[in-house]
Structure 1
């Protein structure tokens, strides 16, 4: 993905340091990163509104911004992640947060899970869907055997 050195240099302390400390190659290999997360990172540096992203990609963007020490990006992404936590995605977010060692996000997921509103909705779901829960437990217990 072509980018302008001057934009990276002026928008990012990471790239400013990288470009000033070494003779950088004209092309940098970023293939080890999630492409959607990296595109989002560059959009922040270019001051472009980021595209709608899946929560998993947003977590990767958060991890990327944190690793590059771009606190302003990490803080904004964290705020978006925190506000996107819902009963539908909290367990997936928690799993991804654990996998990426995103302890702050992990803590927010635990707060959400432990909130009385979530516990109430979980109990309502369980009481209305006892057959489904029984089937899930049966399948789960077979897979552990």
Structure 2
């Protein structure tokens, strides 16, 4: 039987994980239905699944994340993907940003307000 000291030294530190994402990982292991997650928790679950090399979960979370990329989520997902070297998600964010639909939305936004258009031109020209 392990003493308290031995047990404590063998306890894993899980504080670095997102608790919501880790709870979903445990549900996955026990074959329970997974919760609907927001894109940030889903990204964290995807990262955990990658670290555990759970291919099925990696594939399903990637597919869900890809579907969640939109103008409201792309900046945060791109930042998280950049900071964690999640190349697959980063590539999808960049594909979204270069899509004709997104470019048309940006042009539409700029054409609604001349201040926005001028600000972008200043950035482009380096002023």
Match of 1:69 among 53, 56, 63: 53
The equivalent of 1:102 in structure 2 is: 86
Structure 2: gaps spanning 5 or more residues: 1-8
Q: 1:49 to 1:133 in 2, by over 3 A?
A: farther
1:24-63 equivalent positions in 2, closer than 5 A: 27-63=11-47
Q: 1:99 to 1:137 in 2, by over 3 A?
A: farther
**2:117 & 2:38 partners in 1: Cα distance?**
27
Alpha-carbon offset, residue 52 of structure 1: 2.2
Segment of structure 1 superposing worse, 65-74 or 124-133: 124-133
Match of 2:76 among 89, 92, 96: 92
Alpha-carbon offset, residue 85 of structure 1: 0.7
Q: 1:124 to 1:38 in 2, by over 3 A?
A: same
Secondary structure class of the residue paired with 2:37: coil
Does structure 1 residue 81 correspond to structure 2 residue 73? no
Q: 1:135 to 1:122 in 2, by over 3 A?
A: closer
TM-score (norm 1): 0.70
**1:136 & 1:110 partners in 2: Cα distance?**
19
Give deviations 1:95-138, integer Å, cap 9, x for gaps: 11111110000000000100111100111011113335767999
Superposition RMSD in Å: 2.5
Instruction: Tell me the matched-pair count.
Output: 116
**2:29 & 2:113 partners in 1: Cα distance?**
47
Give deviations 1:62-106, integer Å, cap 9, x for gaps: 111001111111110000000111111111111111111100000
Segment of structure 1 superposing worse, 49-58 or 62-71: 49-58
